[in-house]
Amino acid sequence: MTDFKELIANELYDESLGLEIDEIKGMIEIPADESMGDFAFPCFRLAKALRKAPQQIAADIAASAGGNKAFAKVENVNAYVNFFIDRAYFESEVINEVRTKGASYGKSEVGAGKKVIVEYSSPNIAKPFHIGHIRSTVIGNALYKLYDACGYDTFRINYLGDYGTQFGKMIVAYRKWGSEDELKEEPIKALLGYYTRFHKEAENDPSLEDQARETFAKLEAGSPEETELWKKFRELSLAEFNRVYGMLGIEFDSYNGESFYSDKMPRFIQELKDKKLLVESQGAQIVDLEEYDLGAAMITKSDGSSLYVTRDIAAAVYRKENYNFYKCIYVVASQQNLHFKQWKKVLELMGYAWEEDCVHVPFGLVSLSDGDDIKTMSTREGQVVFLEDVLNTAVSKTADIMREKNVQGVNVDEVSKEVGIGAVIFQELSNNRIKDYVFSWDKVLNFDGETGPYVQYTHARASSVLRNADEADLAAIAEGNINASYLASDSAYALCKLIYRLPEIVIEAADKYEPSMVTRHLVDIAQAFNKFYHDEHILVDDEEERRAKLSLVAVSKTVIANCLALLGISAPERM
């Protein structure tokens, strides 16, 4: 496909401007208002070099440019040179591109040969999967798909929180109050019950804490009884998590969690000692990061056991040594900003220059509204909304709507899952990831406006139009046999322009670790399609016109499906 910015840059290039083609290309903007053209070149910056008023420069350039047949018009407004592309030319380029690339339209090879690890979701074993966990899970999955689409060799890690003193507590509590039967019945609920009971009872009986520490020490030492229990807790929890991952359509390449690295830490503690980075402070071993304004990174506790930072160091080195990543992305809440800064600084001080390739991708907090109060979620206090409940409610609401609308030829059970779950995922990916938000049932169950169902509906609508077309038309547009001059309308052209921009949006979204850029662009495309659909009748009598319009519908459908796929959402044909 023609790179239109490059085309314009070539047209503008002149030695007297003192700018390279690439520099000119970088200066080209897309005007705020369509009436000002499709691309614009601002001349403010040239004023100094050329010693002329920017308005005059723009006027001069506009007067001499425009020879290429790709331009319908080149005009000057204020200090801008505005380019109007020939619509039919542009549209046939775009439509042809999408038609031939199909499901791979939007993808690129910018990351070919480079390995990218995405660590995401990473729930704590034995704790319920609540609405707060959806962020890392869904954002991480979208990032994986974005990097995959950019040609990177990707590897997905679920860094399970499957280790630590909490398991000492869990084992103590299970032995005191638990039973095999209730554990089998509803594992996470049972485990959570033990955990909360432990904390309640420990308030009156501090010796429980000591027992927990002892038990964890045994586990860490490899004691068979404790290990067996821990394994059971882990397996049962994982089975429940997998049910939710299944609903969300999410998979991982590795489930190596914290426990996997439990025996890999001594090497680094020794290394920190050798490199004179370790300092004793109040009985604990720390790396003093005061001079970097990062406080102290604790490496071992006063009882000698290890901590988060230490495990993360072991994990990072393991990954570097085994996967030799180009980039390792950690999709973890912004609450852990300090931890990641400390951890990166320690790696840097240890001499691991590749720590620069480790990227913390933070996201904002999800809280709950409790009347006028806003509370953070707390499993201990039972202040939680379970993700599975949210997904199920969204699905059943979708099923209700579908039955009400009585759409023919649809399997309500299947499609309501695609739409209901898609709605939840879409909602999660529609804002900048750094924003905090308060969970609201009303919002997550709203299917009007800029939502997943809106986009999916648009896709189903485009599918429906294509079903109504006859075979000969479909065969003709599959061959690219169309006359784009029938797509001269503003709405058809606006839609093509948005489709044209998708590949660069995907690259930028991956680059900025911001899936919402794709979500936003997808909404724009859906809006543009719906406007086109309303403004114009597609299945008209004139064959050439009908085929031109149908091919734009077909291309739109492909692009919407591709975008949804990047977000991890399916694109139903009917709903």
Partner RNA sequence: GUGCGUGUAGCUCAGUGGAUAGAGUACUUCACUCCGAAUGAAGGGGCCGUGGGUUCAAUUCCCACCACGCACACCA
CB of 335 to RNA, least distance (A): 4
Task: Identify the residue among 14, 303, 479, 490 touching RNA (CB under 7 A).
Answer: 303
**132 bridge partner residues:** none
Q: Which residue in 5, 25, 107, 133 is the catalytic one?
A: 133
Task: Identify the residue among 242, 334, 383, 485 touching RNA (CB under 7 A).
Answer: 334
Distance (Å, rounded) from C-alpha 460 to C-alpha 373?
41
Q: Which stretch binds RNA (CB under 7 A): 13-21, 128-136, 237-245, 536-544?
A: 536-544
Q: 86 to 105, contacts with RNA by CB under 7 A?
A: none
Helices 207-221, 224-248: axis angle to 10 degrees equals: 90
Report if residue 436 touches RNA, rule: CB under 7 A. yes
Task: Identify the residue among 533, 547, 555, 570 touching RNA (CB under 7 A).
Answer: 533
Q: 106 to 145, contacts with RNA by CB under 7 A?
A: 124
Report if residue 217 touches RNA, rule: CB under 7 A. no
Nearer to RNA, 39 or 154 (CB): 39
Task: Identify the residue among 165, 551, 558, 562 touching RNA (CB under 7 A).
Answer: 165
Report if residue 62 touches RNA, rule: CB under 7 A. no
Distance (Å, rounded) from C-alpha 215 to C-alpha 384?
29
CB of 69 to RNA, least distance (A): 22
Report if residue 460 touches RNA, rule: CB under 7 A. yes
CB of 495 within 8 A of CB of 529?
Answer: yes
Distance of CA 434 to the CA centre of its chain: 12
Distance (Å, rounded) from C-alpha 534 to C-alpha 491?
9
Instruction: Tell the residue number behind the tokens 């869904």, with chain if given.
Output: 138
Q: Is 562 left (phi over 0), alpha (psi -120 to 50) or beta?
A: alpha
Q: Which stretch binds RNA (CB under 7 A): 15-23, 228-236, 243-251, 330-338?
A: 330-338
Q: Which residues contact 472 (CB under 8 A, 6 or more apart)?
A: none
Task: Identify the residue among 70, 296, 377, 445 touching RNA (CB under 7 A).
Answer: 296
Task: Identify the residue among 44, 318, 352, 386 touching RNA (CB under 7 A).
Answer: 44
Taken in order 271, 272, 277, 281, the sign of the CA dihedral is negative
**130 bridge partner residues:** 386
Instruction: Tell the residue number behind the tokens 């000002």, with chain if given.
Output: 36
Q: Which stretch binds RNA (CB under 7 A): 85-93, 238-246, 350-358, 399-407?
A: 399-407
Cα-based torsion angle of the residue sequence 173, 177, 181, 186 in order, rounded to the nearest 10 degrees: -60
Neighbours of 160 (CB within 10 A): 23
Q: How far is CA 407 from CA 403, 452, 453, in A?
A: 7, 18, 15
Q: Which stretch binds RNA (CB under 7 A): 24-32, 188-196, 246-254, 385-393?
A: 24-32
**360 bridge partner residues:** 330
Report if residue 405 touches RNA, rule: CB under 7 A. yes
- Whether 199 is a known active-site residue: answer no
Backbone angles phi, psi at 333, to 5 degrees: -50, 150
Q: Which residue in 130, 344, 549, 557 is the catalytic one?
A: 130
- Whether 133 is a known active-site residue: answer yes
Site map 242..271 versus RNA, x via CB under 7 A:
----------------x-------------
Report if residue 6 touches RNA, rule: CB under 7 A. no
Task: Identify the residue among 517, 522, 548, 559 touching RNA (CB under 7 A).
Answer: 517
Nearer to RNA, 179 or 335 (CB): 335
Distance (Å, rounded) from C-alpha 207 to C-alpha 210?
5
Report if residue 164 touches RNA, rule: CB under 7 A. yes
CB of 184 to RNA, least distance (A): 26
Task: Identify the residue among 52, 56, 161, 249 touching RNA (CB under 7 A).
Answer: 161
Question: For the purposes of burial, counting CB atoms within 10 Å of the CB of 133, is it exposed (0-12), middle (13-18) or buried (19 or more)?
Answer: buried
- DSSP for 205-272, written as a single string: -THHHHHHHHHHHHHHHT-HHHHHHHHHHHHHHHHHHHHHHHHHT---SB---GGGGTTSSHHHHHHH
Cα-based torsion angle of the residue sequence 556, 561, 566, 572 in order, rounded to the nearest 10 degrees: 150
Report if residue 365 touches RNA, rule: CB under 7 A. yes
CB of 90 within 8 A of CB of 298?
Answer: no
H or E, element range at 361: strand 358-361
CB of 42 to RNA, least distance (A): 5
Q: Which stretch binds RNA (CB under 7 A): 129-137, 227-235, 345-353, 396-404?
A: 396-404
CB of 181 to RNA, least distance (A): 29
- Whether 339 is a known active-site residue: answer no
Task: Identify the residue among 137, 215, 463, 551 touching RNA (CB under 7 A).
Answer: 463
Task: Identify the residue among 308, 318, 323, 386 touching RNA (CB under 7 A).
Answer: 308
Report if residue 453 touches RNA, rule: CB under 7 A. yes
Task: Identify the residue among 49, 239, 338, 478 touching RNA (CB under 7 A).
Answer: 338
Q: Which stretch binds RNA (CB under 7 A): 2-10, 105-113, 158-166, 181-189?
A: 158-166
Report if residue 64 touches RNA, rule: CB under 7 A. no
Pairing of strands 115-119, 153-157: parallel
State the number of binding residues for RNA (CB under 7 A).
90
Task: Identify the residue among 45, 115, 232, 501 touching RNA (CB under 7 A).
Answer: 45
Nearer to RNA, 44 or 352 (CB): 44
- DSSP for 42-76, written as a single string: E-GGGHHHHTS-HHHHHHHHHHH---STTEEEEEE
Task: Identify the residue among 10, 104, 376, 378 touching RNA (CB under 7 A).
Answer: 376
Q: Active-site residues: which are they?
A: 127, 130, 133
